Amino acid sequence: MVMIIDVEMIKASLMTNNLDSLNIKMNRKGFGLKDQIKDELKFHYHSPIIEEIKLDGYTKTFGNLTIHLAREFGFCYGVDRAVELAYETKKRFPDKRIFLTTEIIHNPLVNFNLQKMGVYFLSGPYQNASLEDVTPKDVVIVPAFGTTISLLEQLVAKKCELVDTICASVIVVWKRVEKYAHENFTVVVHGKYFHEETQATTSRVSVFPNGKYLVVFNEEEAQFVCDYMMQGGSKEEFYKKFSNGISHNFNPDTDLQKIGLANQTTMLSSESLHIAHMFREVITKKYGEESLKDRFRSFDTICNATQERQDAIIEFKTKKPDLIVVIGGYNSSNTNHLCEIASQIAPTYHIDRAECILSQNEIRHKPFGKKEEMITKNWMKSESLSIGITAGASTPNQVMGQTLERIISFRNE
């Protein structure tokens, strides 16, 4: 169950496009200790009130308050597996030091619990150790969104044991971009250059000698690239705009002639589809329809869990809640996109823990598109009120349940 990765094998696998020989995805079954960790997981993440509302058809009324749960919310299959595997690893190696390359998922409670269990973090907001601390006797867990090839190289050099919790949906993106790079297509990723998954994705393109990539964050950036493709422009401006999301030696004059599109698994799916359409149009206009097969590739790599959670928010339109509460880490990509959709339906409050519900009158939250939290007063009207509630793919039900209990108790006051 423990994976030892050989760097040369990784590189050889990528270069020959013989992806099945890439061992990174093989350690998927855990250590067979699920029974031993299930009570701990239930204690940390389960919520009776959430289960109760689900059984009641996802809507329940408490006095003059009606709660609508989204049909899909909370832990996705990838997060479930990553968290389980981290707990199993701890159980399997009670005497070894366990490290995580960074947050296992983007949720404060889950990372806090792991830290409390003695797991060390090599980077990110919970960092309490560094790579120099890792020895061959240690175990390092790679989180759900993967890690870069360069970090893997360093870990392999450490000869430590590696546990792979990478989500299968992330591997789909990697396979796709490796294929593009293998066929000499420039990879355009709709994603966030600073997100661990996208960094891991682009690192896999960089392994190819001629691998080129560009990360576009949104439609505005995609339009900038499309305009450059059609009319040219200032290279300096191009480099400045994409300085953090562009491969080494990228030349916008020559590297935008054959394009393969992919997206970070947790982006807004409608935007990803539109961006793919924009690039398709520009290739068609510039080189003609018949050139598409040689110059354009596109594959929607939004994961099912993200799609289902986004669709479930859209269903709130029929429930017409007075407001929507979205729960999830502030750095969670999928949660932020849930907020983006929700805010088009009703006033939306993004919180990352139950304690953000300060009182009947005050809520601490992060407005969509902003980095800082703020406090909003009079967020709940005192008369009859309906609230839509959802949670990002890395949010435990327990946090959702605690949030709900706080809202109900403040209403009762």
Considering only residues 239 to 298 of the shown chain, the ones binding ligand SF4 according to CB under 6 A are 265-266
Rank residues 30 and 78 by Cβ distance to ligand SF4 and give the closer one.
78
Distance CA 295, CA 301 (A): 19
Interacting residue with ligand SF4 among 22, 65, 69, 76 (CB under 6 A): 76
Interacting residue with ligand SF4 among 167, 226, 229, 354 (CB under 6 A): 167
Whether the CB-CB separation of 215 and 195 falls below 8 Å is answered with no
Whether the CB-CB separation of 326 and 392 falls below 8 Å is answered with yes
Interacting residue with ligand SF4 among 275, 326, 393, 399 (CB under 6 A): 393
197 flagged as catalytic: yes
Structure tokens at 93: 């190696």
Other C-beta atoms closer than 10 Å to the C-beta of 344 total: 11
Distance CA 247, CA 242 (A): 10
Other C-beta atoms closer than 10 Å to the C-beta of 260 total: 24
Binding span for ligand SF4 by CB under 6 A among 1-9, 303-311, 341-349, 373-381? 303-311
Query: What is the total residue count of the chain?
Result: 413
Whether the CB-CB separation of 334 and 309 falls below 8 Å is answered with yes
Binding span for ligand SF4 by CB under 6 A among 44-52, 75-83, 86-94, 343-351? 75-83
Interacting residue with ligand SF4 among 5, 37, 74, 78 (CB under 6 A): 78
The least CB distance from residue 80 to ligand SF4, in Å, is: 8
Binding mask 305-344 for ligand SF4 (x = CB under 6 A): xx---------------------------x----------
The least CB distance from residue 173 to ligand SF4, in Å, is: 8
The DSSP output letter for 384 is S
Backbone angles phi, psi at 377, to 5 degrees: -95, 160
Distance CA 309, CA 315 (A): 10
Active-site choice (88, 197, 271, 340):
197
303 in contact with ligand SF4 (CB under 6 A): yes
Interacting residue with ligand SF4 among 9, 46, 77, 241 (CB under 6 A): 77
Residues that are catalytic = 197
